[in-house]
Amino acid sequence: MDDDVITSPYNTVLGISQLTELADCVLPVDNLALTGMIGRLKGSSTKPVPKEPSLRSNDTTKQQSSSNWPVTATPIDTAANGKAFDEMNNIVANMLLNLTSSSRFEGTMNVDINEISMNLVPFPRLHYLIAAQSPLTNTNQTVAPRKVDQLFADAFTRDFQLISADPCRHTYLAAALLVRGSVTASDIRRNIDSKLVLSDQVLLVL
């Protein structure tokens, strides 16, 4: 789903400077990632593209998306259901609700919302965070339960990220895993060790 507002690129470029100077934490979201999520929730088919070359290659002009990610998702007929943007907004709203749930519900392992920016932002201007959530839900569909290990694995795949970036192709300074529900500390520790500390897929500076 392409943005048909001609001034959107200008709004983004002009807005970034203000977000960089004034915001404590920014969670970017793009329409391409949201459209891909909705397409997968609806069971839409996507067209794969050739695998992306290494970022260490000298030729950076020919880089393409990895083979398991579509360049564009199957278009959604907004005239037919009128709910495409509602579903996209619902994904973003769920992310914000999950992010702030510790401020609204009691729990023994809750974290303060200020701890997120304090632990993830190394420098004041370097405060752009990549958000992901699993499982993806749709108000009109029932999502099958997923195992705890699968939820953690999903969080580090681009199919569940709200911005079109491959987490396995970049280096990260910090990561936070916020869990809701009945999850034991041992399950969390095991997945942190396997997905971050001992993983050779997601490169995290420790």
pLDDT in tens, 176-188: 888 888 888 898 8
C-alpha dihedral over 105, 111, 114, 116, to 10 degrees?
-120
The two three-digit tokens of residue 188, written as one number: 């969390």
pLDDT tens-digit map of 68-85: 444 334 444 544 445 778
- Global pTM value: 0.71
Angle between helix axes 185-192 and 148-155 (nearest 10 degrees) is 40
Cα–Cα distances (Å) from 80 to 6, 76, 204, in that order, read 24, 9, 44
Q: Residue 80's pLDDT is what?
A: 44
> What are the structure tokens assigned to 135, written together?
């499982």
Comparison of pLDDT for 48 and 147, the residue scoring more? 147
Residue-level pLDDT at 16: 92
Q: What pLDDT is recorded for position 20?
A: 92
Give the pLDDT band (50/70/90) at residue 172. confident
193 has a pLDDT exceeding 80: yes
Contacts of 55 (CB under 8 A, 6+ apart): 63, 169, 170
Phi, psi (rounded to 5 degrees) for 148: -60, -45
Q: Residues 21, 52, 106, 115: which is the catalytic one?
A: 115
Residue 162 scores a pLDDT above 90: yes
Residue 26 pLDDT > 60, yes or no?
Answer: yes
Single-letter residue type at 40: R
Where does 24-45+65-204 sit in CATH, by number? 3.40.50.1440
> Is residue 91 pLDDT above 70, yes or no?
yes
Specify whether 87 is catalytic.
no
